Amino acid sequence: MLSRILGLLSNDISIDLGTANTLIYMRGKGIVLNEPSVVAIRQDRGPGGPRSVEAVGIAAKKMIGRTPENIQAIRPMKDGVIADFTTTEKMLQHFIRKVHHHRMFRPSPRVLVCVPCGATQVERRAIRESAAGAGARRVYLMEEPMAAAIGSGIPVDEARGSMVLDIGGGTSEVAVMSLNGIVYSASVRIGGDTFDDAITAYVRRNYGILIGEATAERIKHEIGSAYPGKELEEIEVKGRNLAEGVPRAFTLNSNEILEALQEPLHGIVSAVRTALEQTPPELGSDVAERGIVLTGGGALLRDLDRLLMEETGIPVVVADDPLTCVARGGGKVLEMIDEHGTDFLSLE
């Protein structure tokens, strides 16, 4: 009863609990939070000492790779699922409170969390309990590609096939939907983080220089591309020379990064090809006619749509504001739950 009353004082939210970023969509307000899924934990008095949260989100991300011994900046999510249960719960608690900052009472909203379709029952339960532990009154789970499709605005309720490729930080999800249901879905553990790792490995292998996570991400954002472009772009970065042990500056160009990204990109293309092979022919022809919709932060990698178009031979469109599609889709579903109940979609 008390939680219901408190619930009236909270706004329902949809959470895209991603490996790289967590986004929160609040009903009636839109995207209210977009922060890295990073928590900095302080542990004083050595191992086994009391642990406390030092920073969460943007502040914690700045600490990655720059922390003293008693602070550890960690990403509690890995490959789209929870790797560290307690820290995820703390992070969610922090984010839920942050978006309800002006409230007198502890917020107790209904929460819809989007999960990768490859998540196991154990992983789903961990996410559900983590959200409940963070103060949610009621937790709905929804598969990410469905949320991404609804968020991008494509009509999933019609008897027509729509294919969505959602490239997140830890996983890429490809799904074919029709009549509010998922006909085929697959999840590969390749995402934005894999691109960063590939760049780090390439630089170490070819230059003998070690670069950090943040530098690899910056390289990807600035000159990363998935298809050979007309112009060659360059970037100057600094890293530690493994042989000499001192920091060195060096220049990378976009063709090198394209080469570095070949392996993860190939993984994504294969997943899409497999999806097209597995799709029933009628739905496949709908997809071939209208195209694949690209969502998620990975869709922002330059010319990824071009690569997929050339590899599959069907149109590929990038959704509007691809980074927030999943969270926005979750928000729309929350509104639909109020109107139509939970029967119309496969919610858990």
Partner 1 sequence: MATDDRQDNPDTELPEGVNSSPGRLLREAREAAGMSLEALADRLHLHKATLQALEEDRFGDLPEPPYVRGYLRGCAKALEMEPEPLLQAFRASGQPAGPEEEQPPGPVRGRIESPAGLRRFSPGLLRIAIFGAILALVIAGTWSLVTGGGTDEDAPASTGTTGVQDREEAPAVTQEVPGSVAPTDALPGPIPLQASGAGDDGPLAPEGSGTGAAQAPGSEPHESGTDARGDDASGDGVPATTSGREEREGEASPGPVRMRMVFREDCWVQITDADGEDLLSGLIRAGREHRLEGKAPIRVFLGNAPGVELTFNGRRVDTASRARDDRTARFTLGSP
For 67-83, b/e burial (b = at least 16 CB within 10 A) is beeebbbbbbbbbbbbb
Torsion of CA 97, 103, 106, 112, to 10 degrees: -50
Residue pair 10/21 in contact (Cβ under 8 Å)? The answer is: no
Name the DSSP letter for residue 107.
P
Annotated binding residue 21: yes
Annotated binding residue 300: yes
Q: Which residue lies nearer to partner 1 by CB, 88 or 178?
A: 178
By CB under 8 A, the residues from 326 to 345 that bind partner 1 are 328, 332, 335-336, 338-341, 344
Torsion of CA 38, 267, 226, 118, to 10 degrees: -40
Binds partner 1 by CB under 8 A, chosen from 8, 122, 243, 249: 8
Stretch that binds partner 1, among 67-75, 209-217, 243-251, 285-293 (CB under 8 A): 285-293
Binds partner 1 by CB under 8 A, chosen from 63, 183, 314, 347: 314
Q: Which residue lies nearer to partner 1 by CB, 222 or 303?
A: 303
Task: Confirm or reject binding of residue 180 to partner 1 (CB under 8 A).
Answer: yes
Q: Is 115 helix (H, G, I), strand (E, B) or coil?
A: strand
Task: Confirm or reject binding of residue 233 to partner 1 (CB under 8 A).
Answer: no
Give the residues across from 30 on adjacent strands. Answer: 26
Task: Confirm or reject binding of residue 291 to partner 1 (CB under 8 A).
Answer: yes
| Helix segments in the chain, DSSP class H | 2-8, 58-63, 85-99, 121-133, 144-152, 192-207, 213-223, 254-260, 262-278, 281-290, 304-312, 325-340
Task: Confirm or reject binding of residue 189 to partner 1 (CB under 8 A).
Answer: no
Task: Confirm or reject binding of residue 4 to partner 1 (CB under 8 A).
Answer: no
Stretch that binds partner 1, among 16-24, 78-86, 149-157, 220-228 (CB under 8 A): 149-157
User: Within a 10 A sphere around the Cβ of 121, how many other Cβ atoms?
Assistant: 8
In the annotated binding site, the residues are 19-21, 169-171, 217-220, 297-300
Q: Residue numbers of the site for partner 1 (CB under 8 A)?
A: 5, 8-9, 11, 28, 30, 150-158, 180, 289-291, 293, 305, 309, 313-321, 325, 328, 332, 335-336, 338-341, 344
Q: Which residues line the annotated binding site for ATP?
A: 19-21, 169-171, 217-220, 297-300
